[in-house]
């Protein structure tokens, strides 16, 4: 009896893997490759090593907003129907659910954004990508939060800046310095390098705003602790510089 020949995919495991990649996986790979090759400014991504459809991302707060220099972390999950269906997005920078920094980024992790089907407006299209999703989130941070009260916004901008620096800068940088493995290396490196370049500006903003410390606002909150935040930023600047200096020495030694 003649022996049966194996199929091309069985003879070539690599071909078999290519053949069995779903449209979702192929598209996610392409999206991540595009971000890696040409990353949008202030965006860092780290796909899960065991499941590429789960991506951790950092979006840096845009300049001239209360969120400037903050590191806002999101967990993105692409469903099997991606890119015909939108990704799911969870917001993680909430101080364990105690702080809401933006009207569309809730303390329970819910993200209100039209292109992922959680808000009114333009809906998801297969032409969109993970990169365009993250840029949309960054653009949302550039918009003035309403919180239904313009007067409250004008008065509480200092509170948002204070909370953003405390939660999205100091807490995040400290976790990265402690080697918190909940932050993948790509995100940790992005956070520390970005902070090193922006900490002087953050210090200047905090120094200029110290006269607001203790001021009370309509929602019965006060902007306390500006001096403490400034001291935290100054201490973190020293620690981050030490880490980066050691990394530079280690890299130079490895190249010799």
Residue from 69, 74, 87 nearest 183 by CA = 74
Express each pLDDT in 155-214 by its tens digit: 456 778 889 999 999 999 999 998 767 899 999 999 999 999 999 999 988 887 664 554
Kindly provide the b/e burial profile for residues 135-148, where b requires at least 16 CB atoms within 10 angstroms of the residue's own CB.
bbbbebbeeebeee
Q: Where does the chain show beta strands of DSSP type E?
A: 43-47, 54-60, 71-77, 88-91, 216-217, 221-222
Taking the model in full, what pTM does it have?
0.83
Specify which residues 110 forms β-bridges with. 90
Architecture field, domain 18-255: Roll (3.10)
* Distance, CA of 154 to CA of 157 (rounded, Å): 6
Q: Where are the domains of the chain?
A: 18-255
Express each pLDDT in 214-241 by its tens digit: 444 444 444 546 778 999 999 999 999 9
Does residue 112 carry a catalytic annotation?
yes
24, 78, 112, 226: the catalytic one is: 112
């Amino acid at each position: 009896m003649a022996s049966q020949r194996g199929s091309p995919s069985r003879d070539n495991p690599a071909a078999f893997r290519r053949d069995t990649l779903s449209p979702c996986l192929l598209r996610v790979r392409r999206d991540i490759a595009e971000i890696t090759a040409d990353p949008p400014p202030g965006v860092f991504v780290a796909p899960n090593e065991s499941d590429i459809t789960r991506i951790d991302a950092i979006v840096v707060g845009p300049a001239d907003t209360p969120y400037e220099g903050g590191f806002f972390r999101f967990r993105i999950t692409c469903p099997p129907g991606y890119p015909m269906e939108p990704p799911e997005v969870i917001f993680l920078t909430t101080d364990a659910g105690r702080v809401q920094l933006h009207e569309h980024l809730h303390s329970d992790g819910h993200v209100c954004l039209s292109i992922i089907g959680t808000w009114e407006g333009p809906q998801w299209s297969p032409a969109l990508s993970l990169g365009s999703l993250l840029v949309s989130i960054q653009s949302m941070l550039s918009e003035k939060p309403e919180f239904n009260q313009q007067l409250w916004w004008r008065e509480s901008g200092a509170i948002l800046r204070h909370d953003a620096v405390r939660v999205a800068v100091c807490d995040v940088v400290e976790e990265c310095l402690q080697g918190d493995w909940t932050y993948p290396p790509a995100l940790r490196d992005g956070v520390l390098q970005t902070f090193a370049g922006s900490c002087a500006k953050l210090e200047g903003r905090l120094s200029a705003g110290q006269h607001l410390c203790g001021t009370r606002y309509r929602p019965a909150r006060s902007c306390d602790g500006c001096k403490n935040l400034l001291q935290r930023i100054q201490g973190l600047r020293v620690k981050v510089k030490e880490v980066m200096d050691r990394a530079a020495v280690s890299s130079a030694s490895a190249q010799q």
